[in-house]
Structure 1
C-alpha cells in the first residue's frame, strides 16, 4: 500500500474544520485546475481528472471532529482510500492531515505517485487558504 500525505495547522476550532471537510460540496474549492465536470452532494463527489480518469467518491466513514474517509463508489483505476484526519491542538488550532492510501503496482507507482503527492500538497495548502 502506497501512503501519500501532508499536514497543515489551521487557526480554526476543530469543529469548524470538520464541518467544512465533512461536506463534499466544499471539496470542489480544494481541487486543482485539472479537475473538471465536478458534481457533488454532501456524501458523494464525481469528477474527471484531465487526461487521466473519472472518479466517483463517497464518504464511507465520519468520526466527528476526528476523521472523514472517502472511497470510490464506482470502479476506479486502482484501489484507493482518501482521508482527512484532524487533531485539536488547542481551542483555536487544528492540525489537518490529508492521506491517500493507494494500492499501486510498481508501474502505476512510478506514474501516479508524483501526481498524487501534488494533489495532496495542493489540497492541504488550499484548505489553509480557504479557512484562513
Structure 2
C-alpha cells in the first residue's frame, strides 16, 4: 500500500470545511487543469485525467466534522481510497489532511508516485486558497 498525504491549516470553522468537502460538487474546484469532462452530484464525481484514465468516485463514508472517504465506483487503474481527515484546532481553525491510499506495484509506484503527490499537494493548497 502506497500512502501519499499532505496537511494544511484553514482559518475556517470545522463545520464549514466539512460542509464543503462533504459535497462532491465542490471537489471540481480542487482539481488541477488536467481534469476534464467533470460531472458530479453531492455523492459522486465522474471525470477524466488527461492522458491517463477516466475515474468515477463516490463518497463511501461521512463522519460529520471528522472524515470523508471516497472510493472508485467503476474500474480504476489501481485500488484507491481518498480520505479527508479534519481536526478542530479551535478559534475558527481547522486542520485538513488529504490521504491517498493506492495499491501500486513497483513499476506503477515509480511512474505514479510523483504525479499523485502533486495531485494531493494541489488539492490541499487549493482547498486552503478556496476556503481560507
Q: TM-score range by the shorter chain?
A: over 0.9
Q: Does 1:76 align with 2:73?
A: no
Q: So what's the TM-score if we normalise by structure 1?
A: 0.99
Paired with 1:77 and 1:31, the residues of 2 have a C-alpha distance of 19
SS at match of 1:42: coil
Alignment of 1:1-132 (within 5 A): 1-132=1-132
- Displaced runs of 4 or more, over 4 A: none
SS at match of 1:90: coil
Q: So what's the TM-score if we normalise by structure 2?
A: 0.99
Gaps of 5+ in 2: none
CA RMSD of aligned residues (A): 0.5
Deviation of 1:91 after TM superposition, in Å, equals 3.8
